[in-house]
Amino acid sequence: MLEAVLGIRGLADLGECAKAVARRTSAMGVCVWELAPTHQAHIAPVGERKLAVLASWFVSGRRAWKLSRLVEGALTGDAILAGEPRVAQLEAGREPLDWREAAMPSHAYVVPFTFKDDNGTPGEPGAVTAYFDRSPSETDRAILRDAATAFPVVFAAVADRPALLAVDMTAERLGKLDMGTSVASVEDVTAALADIAEQLAARLRCQDALIVLNQAPGREAPDWLRVSNGATTPTPEADRGLLEWVLRNGSPAWFPNLRHAEKNEGAVRARYLSVDIDVRKLTGLGAPAELVLGARQFRSEPVLSWLAVPITLGTEVLGAVRCCLAVSEPTHFSEREQWTLQLVAEVLAHFWKGWVQAGRLEGVISQVLALNSTAQVRLAHRVGLAEYNVAELLSTDANLPELLDEALQRVEELVPRATNTSIRALDRSDPHGRFLEFVCVRSAEWRKGTEAEIRARRYRRFEVDQPQATSLGQLVVRRGAPLRVDSVHEPPPGLACTPTFSSTYAMACVPIRLGDLVLGVLDLRSTNEPFSDLDIRAGESVAAQLGFYFGLAEAFLSQEKRLAEDQQMVEDLVHQLASPLRAAAGALARVDRTLRGQDETVAGITGEIAEATVTELEAASRRQARDLRVATRLVERAAKTARTAKLFRELADPRRPVACNPIAISESYLKTLIRQTLDEARLITAKDRQLRFVPRTGRIPPVWFDPDQLEQCLGQLVDNARKYAYTGTMVLVETTRSGDGGVSMTVHSTGTPLAEVDVAKYKRRGWRGPDAAFVTAEGQGIGLFIVDRVVEANGGTLVVAPAGDVTRVTVQMPRVP
């Protein structure tokens, strides 16, 4: 049941593991104890209940002894000594934890485990202790027992912080590659992987670390991405054969002596073409992929230990991480090193899934756009289930029955003893995690009649009664791992089995997952024999594909929404630019025409100028002056919009740092800037709104900020205030000295309120308040996004503080260093 613990990617510490376990049970809290005096003890509270406040600390020998006595005596008696799980009735005052903020638990369930060192030698005992306000259920006990088998391994990883750092570093390095607004480039990914290989080699004291990954489609790069730390690599032939073996089998390979392995694994080193079909499946390229190996030769070491871990997604093998140790004696990789490598592979798989998905989506979207949404694209190519019309898929669930039916058909092919299969969707809005409905049922009993009748029977939507919803499937959802019942006549204690079909003998249930999220379950039922481990694996394979498919569809929808939003934003910007520019052009054209008319009038004057002519010329001159004034303001506004658009374009890519050139800005400069900004706002505000623009600037020290960006920020904040201010109110810009020696510049306004709950959203690009679009035709919801990023880049902070109709937006500017 390692999966329960290792479901968390980017594992930070044991507390997170304990939390993950706690979430799967009804426990009030879960603690994990490792009683060796030199190891850490972790106490993990369950988030909302704030049960225990102690996070982690080094346990002194004396305290460890005390804790162990407490655990043994007060809670479990001789549970640990006997090596058996034990329920203990708790008594007030004899509990070692701090339960200050919660009700006292009444029961504890303690599952002992034994820590093993790197060589597998049993060491000090430990325990998983879960606290309940009632006697723990059988399900809770089973989950905790499973978890207890995992924790020793995790302890082994945690105990050696440098090894765990490799995992953290991997997650952090990959996390910096932005997958949201734009797809990371091959170069970025390669650089990140090279760093990871370097770190791996250093952390595991390896001669060589190699990451081989199949390539995302539609990119100009080798079919396989192969990155090493640049150190010596073994012979290409050996590497190729063994890597092939790992890729084909999807399980870790471990050879203490590579030369020995070379000799005995000759059959494994088959020609690459022999795994052609598998690789084609894996890559989704639709064509054979070539494994590109480096030309460097392994040089001189007498013995080479070799460890490779596949990077898997469900049962798909996406690539492998391989490490080599050059040593004088044959050696094994330690348990800790293996786990480190496996954890890194997990993180890589998670990342790879996102990258491939993002790359594929780019292609799908461009195809759809190019062919006006009628394109038949192979959306589920990687899933290998069927071809779908994307437009239909996204607008209706017309293809869903076929998709689900195909999935079930595959289950039948892979698991012939599954006579009844079904897919149940989880109601994700239901806090109790109940199933919403059966979405697809396929049964041997229903295969009679016409094709249409069969299909109608197969695909049904109906409510599931509660006993079914709370039985096997729900348990599987909570565990996030497959479960099987060998005979429904003798179900495990605490599990109510109410099979759909009376002929059911055995049941197996597999979660349909997307990462850690369980979307539903795949149910397999047999009439006369139990399911094997292989059957469960087959079910997992199909469920993984379904999960991936649903994830792909969700990602596609969100990308499409984003595209539409971007398109709308561009249209708005075009309007805001075009409107004043065109009006300004018209005004200037009129000025030009009247000037020419005046020239002709003046040229025609030969004698005394008539009074009427003078009056006419004066009137024309006034009109020209006015036209020029209007044109100037309109052009200024357009220029401001253009600057905003340009800055937005630069900031929209979060991978790019915001370029800024801060200088010392004096008090007088800032005051002038504020006055000018308010004057401009006053000029472009309708008079009947009667807004007052007021500066309030006291004595302030110079600040450190990019002057252009400061102008942009202030202009944006004042413009926001102007747009949303109520008639007859005041827009006040105030500067004060802040506690840290910098300056706070606050724009106060009274207008369309910003709800406090929405304050956190202003940083999102494209977000506008619910009433914003009703009171102004200007704005795309990018103003505060820009200001926030610019202020941050200049070392300051932006604080938005609404209070009813009054909104205060403060820019904290840093002092001059």
Residues lying near another protein in the complex (CB under 8 A) are found at: 575, 578-580, 582-583, 585-587, 589, 623, 626, 630, 633-634, 684-687, 689, 723-727, 751-752, 771, 773-777, 805
Q: How far is the CB of 638 from another protein (least distance, A)?
A: 11
Between 204 and 577, CB nearer to another protein: 577
Question: How are beta strands 703-705 and 208-214 bridged, if at all?
Answer: unpaired
Nearer Cβ to another protein, position 511 or 580? 580
Q: In terms of CB distance, is 527 or 685 closer to another protein?
A: 685
CB closer to another protein out of 406 and 680: 680
Contacts 24+ apart (CB under 8 A), 94-100: 94/70, 96/67, 96/70, 96/71, 97/29, 97/31, 97/43, 97/51, 97/52, 97/54, 97/131, 98/52, 98/53, 98/54, 99/51, 99/52, 100/53
Smallest gap from Cβ 749 to another protein, in A, equals 10
When the beta carbons of 134 and 689 are compared against another protein, the nearer one is 689
664-667 — which CB contacts under 8 Å span 24+ positions? 664/702, 664/703, 664/704, 664/816, 665/702, 665/703, 665/704, 665/705, 665/707, 665/710, 665/813, 666/702, 667/697, 667/699, 667/700, 667/701, 667/702
Contact predicate 726/749, CB 8 Å: no
How near is the Cβ of 579 to another protein at its closest, in Å? 5
Q: Are 344 and 196 in contact (CB under 8 A)?
A: yes
Under 8 Å between Cβ of 311 and 318? yes
Instruction: Supply the minimum distance, in Å, between the C-beta of residue 583 and another protein.
Output: 5
Q: Which amino acid is at 216?
A: A
Token pair 């391994």: residue? 153
Nearer to another protein by Cβ, of 512 and 631: the residue is 631
Nearer to another protein, 195 or 771 (CB): 771
Beta carbon of residue 751, minimum distance to another protein (angstroms, whole number):
5
- Residues facing 809 on adjacent strands: 747, 800
Residue number with CB closer to another protein (356 or 587): 587
DSSP code string of 602-649? HHH--SSPPHHHHHHHHHHHHHHHHHHHHHHHHHHHHHHHHHHHHHHH
CB of 637 to another protein, least distance (A): 8
Q: Which is nearer to another protein, 212 or 577 (CB)?
A: 577
Q: What is the DSSP letter of 282?
A: H
Shortest distance, CB of residue 153 to another protein, whole angstroms?
56
| Gap between the Cα atoms of 382 and 556, Å rounded | 14
Shortest approach of another protein to residue 555 CB, angstroms? 27
Give the residue with the Cβ less far from another protein, 314 or 751.
751
**Nearest CB to another protein, comparing residues 736 and 776:** 776
Q: How far is the CB of 726 from another protein (least distance, A)?
A: 5
Q: Cβ 768 to another protein, closest distance in Å?
A: 11
* Distance separating alpha carbons of residues 282 and 2, to the nearest angstrom: 25
Other CB atoms within 10 Å distance of the CB of residue 414: 15
Residues ≥6 apart with Cβ < 8 Å to 344: 166, 167, 170, 196, 200, 309, 321
Pairwise CA distance, residues 789 & 648, whole Å: 10
What's the closest the beta carbon of residue 734 comes to another protein, in angstroms?
A: 21
DSSP secondary structure string for all residues of 302-355? SEEEEEEEEEEETTEEEEEEEEEEEESS--PPPHHHHHHHHHHHHHHHHHHHHH
